């Protein structure tokens, strides 16, 4: 991948946060970027300094017609896609019992089903040109669950399972998949990209309620520097052998380490019984 002098990126959700920063970094490298957002006017300033490098497209990842139109325009403009970055998404805070379908189903439509359809639409073009990278923005919450984020966790856990299978399917074409698992970074995510369930039950004040209160009070105080995080991601994208999983931030690494230790402990405690669940010899 690193021997291609300039690359063509398609990045969803470029209006702010990680998507915006990654687009700026790709442009600074001299790469070409298909920058997308629901409202294309929000990325006008991104394109202005780089008129020959940027194709601005309105893209709603929940609308199949919008996805198809974007792919047609991308191929017509640049002929290929080397790096697909599925970044569009949003969060939702609330206990599983508190949240309503009207609140969590749109999140799945964007975080999971939108990612699936954008990927399906881009793959024929990527396969035809041989090789590339698919970068799926998950979260540390796609690897470890947390009270108050259960349905958000579910959407991101699904992205990770999909990505693992996809990595095996596209490997013969020279396409690598990278699952990005950021911790808390100082982007606009808590302020702009996370919704809160309308219903709040007193029974959950000590669990999901505490998560709601913490999230509301700590926007702007996250420990992660988003530009440093995206610089590491850029290194991974350009690597000949990128990681399947890329946790970002000390908090993400700590949460993943704790989960792995817990899984190892459960396996050790129950392995002997689990191994005895097969048919008896000769049965």
- Which residues have a catalytic role annotated? 138, 152, 156
Which secondary-structure segment (H or E) carries 142? none
Q: By three-state DSSP, how is residue 92 classified?
A: strand
Are the CB atoms for 32 and 11 separated by under 8 Å? Answer: no
Q: What are phi and psi of 201, to 5 degrees?
A: -100, 135
Tokens at residue 276, please?
A: 């005895």
How many Cβ atoms sit within 10 Å of the Cβ of residue 82? 21
Region label for 99, one of left (φ > 0), alpha (ψ between -120 and 50) or beta (otherwise): beta
Q: Which of 83, 80, 84, 87 is nearest to 2 (CA)?
A: 83
Instruction: State how far the Cα of 171 lies from the Cα of 230, in Å rounded to an integer.
Output: 24
Q: Which of 222, 211, 96 is nearest to 152 (CA)?
A: 96
Phi, psi torsion values for 6, nearest 5 degrees: -135, 145
DSSP symbol at 275: G
Handedness of CA 46, 47, 48, 53 (dihedral sign): positive
Q: Judge whether 153 and 105 are in contact, CB under 8 Å.
A: no
Q: Rounded to whole angstroms, how far apart are CA atoms 253 and 232? A: 14
Taking the C-alpha atoms of residue 37 and residue 278, their distance in angstroms, rounded to an integer, is 52
Count of all residues that appear for the chain in the document: 283
């Amino acid at each position: 991948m690193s021997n291609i002098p300039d690359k063509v990126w398609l990045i969803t959700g470029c209006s702010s946060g990680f998507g915006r920063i990654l687009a700026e970094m790709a442009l600074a490298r001299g790469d070409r970027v298909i920058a997308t957002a629901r409202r294309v006017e929000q990325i006008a300033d991104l394109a202005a300094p780089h008129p020959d490098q940027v194709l601005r497209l309105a893209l709603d990842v929940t609308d199949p017609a919008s996805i198809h139109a974007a792919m047609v325009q991308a191929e017509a403009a640049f002929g290929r896609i080397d790096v697909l970055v599925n970044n569009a998404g949003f969060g939702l805070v609330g206990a599983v019992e508190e949240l309503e379908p009207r609140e969590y189903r749109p999140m799945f439509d964007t975080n999971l089903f939108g990612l699936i359809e954008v990927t399906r639409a881009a793959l024929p073009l990527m396969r035809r040109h041989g090789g590339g990278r698919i970068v799926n923005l998950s979260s540390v919450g796609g690897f470890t669950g947390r009270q108050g984020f259960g349905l958000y966790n579910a959407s991101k856990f699904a992205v990770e399972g999909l990505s693992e299978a996809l990595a095996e399917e596209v490997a013969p074409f020279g396409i690598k998949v990278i699952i990005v698992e950021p911790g808390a970074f100082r982007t606009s995510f808590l302020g702009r990209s996370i919704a809160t369930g309308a219903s709040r039950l007193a029974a959950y004040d000590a669990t999901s309620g505490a998560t709601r209160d913490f999230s509301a009070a700590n926007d702007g105080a996250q420990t992660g520097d988003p530009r440093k995080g995206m610089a590491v991601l850029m290194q991974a994208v350009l690597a000949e052998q990128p990681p399947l999983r890329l946790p970002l931030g000390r908090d993400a690494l700590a949460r993943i380490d704790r989960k792995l230790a817990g899984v190892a402990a459960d396996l050790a405690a129950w392995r002997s019984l689990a191994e005895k669940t097969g048919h008896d010899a000769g049965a």
